Amino acid sequence: MSAAPSDPAIDALKARIAAVPLGAATEERGIVLSLADGLARVAGLPGAGLNEVLDFPTGARGFVLSLEEDALHAVFLDPPEGISAGATVLRTGKVLSVPVGAALLGRVLDPLGRPLDGAPAPDVDALLPAERPAPAIIERDFVSEPMETGLLVVDAMFAIGRGQRELIVGERQTGKTAIAVDALITQSLRGTVCIYVAIGQRMSAVRRVIEAVRRHGRLDRTIFVIAPAADQPGLRWLAPFSATSMAEWFRDRGDHVLIVYDDLTKHAATHRELALLARQPPGREAYPGDIFYLHARLLERAGKLSAARGGGAITALPVAEIDAGNLSAYIPTNLISIADGQIVTSATLFAANQRPAVDVGLSVSRVGGKAQPGALKAVAGRLRLDYAQYLEMKMFSRFGGFGDAARLARGAAIAHLLAQDRFAPLPVLAQIALLAGLEAGVLDGVDGGRLLALRQALPSMVAADPVLSALGDTPARLDDGARAAAIALVRAGLGAA
């Protein structure tokens, strides 16, 4: 007697039933004791750990921010509507993680990797914890490769290297974001992976940044991680950490990454808000005692890896805002002590239309010359000193009868050269040619209009010059022949201007 033919559907169902593990299952549930402004106090979860994801009955998620002896504080990642005291909370046993991968390039995402640009969710298979330990000292390499911003005032006087952390700090509306975005656009055009993190910003300002990158840079090499002011405090707190994990995925594959945190002052305010709600003791300016550690463990994740680890690098440009020029405020001084230098913007220079409004007296790069191309260093050695002397002399010359006319003419030429329009990056070779002409006195007494025309025409002239173009993108030295060719090119450009 032959066996009855099997039904594929029944066979599949039996296979699924057989695959289900049998036995007791346990889950740990807690109870919401109280809620306040995006944060819940939860009891009954003794096994929960920091940064563990929790599920609430409405489907909203949160993560553990701090632990007490008999309770914990969970920060919401989704709107807490419908949740009240007495609601149950379920542990997931999963640490807070974010999607990573090449599919994130060109996308606008929230800190959890959810799309904000109307396109489908990025197709990624990998997840990384939002908080990860920084590379050990033995895994790092020296910061010695230049990272050009395209801004003459930065590249010539405060050079930034791959793997450096350079703070951009200044008063409100003095061009801090403009400097960071110009650097981001320049690097995206060079193929660097760029990540812009907006923390507590207005969406109108964020849209302007995205549009600027779309028009002038490469959107396909840029990731936008957005946590605007209207978002949950948990998302604003998470944004820089999740973006850094996305950057580390590229870095671990040997890529170079530039990440802009805009801005960490608002991130510190969010941390203070959550800490006060969690009843942590306040310290200076009502910030909790761990505020320094918060930003230190974030910025320490930037750096350049050794060749054994692939040689990738994360360069960080954190932005901080000060009030009334008070550079000694709590958060700015914390960030200055963590970073490898700072670019300070001046409200006075900004009002005088000297933009980028970089205060050369207060700005510094602690890597500086070690990451500057040798040829650029050869012609930029006295630039900062000459410009500082000019600014001081200009102040006293207003009283009449004081000042060296030659130095004033040289300083005025420097001021015109350092003033640079947005989205108009200068290649390194064009910067070298300009500064060589300045050093030779060719630009002394030249009016601003001709200098502007020269700066606009010089990149194409340098690219067409066989002597200068042979130097490469990061020339290590400038011999007499190349210097003479640069000066001749500047003279020719002035003649055509």
| 288 C-beta neighbours (distance < 10 Å), count | 21
CB-CB contact of 294 with 304 (8 Å) = no
Residue 358, phi then psi, degrees to nearest 5: -90, 125
CB-CB contact of 70 with 43 (8 Å) = yes
**Cβ burial, residue 25 (10 Å; 0-12/13-18/19+):** exposed
Q: Is the preceding omega at residue 228 within 30 degrees of 0, hence cis?
A: no
CB-CB contact of 80 with 98 (8 Å) = no
**What 3-state class would DSSP assign to 330?**
helix
Q: Beta strands of 277-312 (E only): which ranges?
A: 303-304
Please report, in angstroms and rounded to a whole number, the separation of the first and last CA atoms in the chain: 102
CB-CB contact of 314 with 244 (8 Å) = yes
Q: Is 71 left (phi over 0), alpha (psi -120 to 50) or beta?
A: beta
Of 367, 7, 13, 305, which is closest to residue 167 (Cα–Cα)?
A: 367
Instruction: Let me know if 366 is a catalytic residue.
Output: yes
Spacing of C-alpha 190 from chain mean position:
17
Q: Is the preceding omega at residue 263 within 30 degrees of 0, hence cis?
A: yes
What residue spans of 230-329 are helical by DSSP H?
233-251, 264-277, 291-299
Marked catalytic residue, from 366, 407, 422, 491: 366
Q: Give the catalytic positions in this structure.
A: 366
